[in-house]
Amino acid sequence: MTATATTVGDLFAVIERRPALAIDADLTVEKDGTAFAVRGYGDLVAVDLPSLGAALELWRDRPVDGPDAAAALDAAGLTAELRVRGAPVARLGADAVPSGLAERLGLGPLELLVDGLLLALTPRRE
């Protein structure tokens, strides 16, 4: 018998009854001409983008609002980490500790990682 969710609350109830998810993925995704890597490591999904601008664009165009995405990830026991050139800049979901700065900037329940943001803003030497 398959459970059917009719509201977001029902969906969370169904997710909470399921065993913890483990993600094992190694993908390259392209959106609007920008390629980025998506890798899954158990309960962490890392999205690595080539620039901070690409990360902001992806966040603006997300299909689900930040609070809803955070709640769904948390209910599934998953964390999404946004990286720029390998430096973690933000986390969302189960292991994220939302920052007041992100809320004030209108970014939603994100954990901003200041060290990673500084690295992302630093020009690379080629």
Alpha-carbon gap, residue 25 to 36, rounded angstroms: 13
Q: What is the pTM of this model?
A: 0.76
What's the confidence (pLDDT) of residue 81?
A: 95
pLDDT in tens, the chain (126 residues): 445 556 777 767 766 666 567 889 899 999 888 899 999 988 999 999 999 888 888 878 877 777 788 888 888 889 999 999 999 999 998 899 988 888 887 777 889 999 998 998 888 766
Write 118-122 long-range contacts (CB < 8 A, 24+).
119/84, 119/85, 119/87, 120/51, 120/52, 120/55, 120/84, 120/85, 120/87, 120/89, 121/52
Q: Encoding tokens for residue 32?
A: 């609007």
Please state, in angstroms and rounded to a whole number, the distance separating the CA atoms of residues 42 and 25: 9
Residue at 82: amino acid letter: L
Q: What is the pLDDT of residue 56?
A: 83
Q: Is 14 helix (H, G, I), strand (E, B) or coil?
A: helix
**Predicted local distance difference test score (pLDDT) of residue 27:** 93
* pLDDT at 15 (0 to 100): 64
Class of residue 54 by CB neighbours under 10 A (exposed 0-12, middle 13-18, buried 19+) = middle
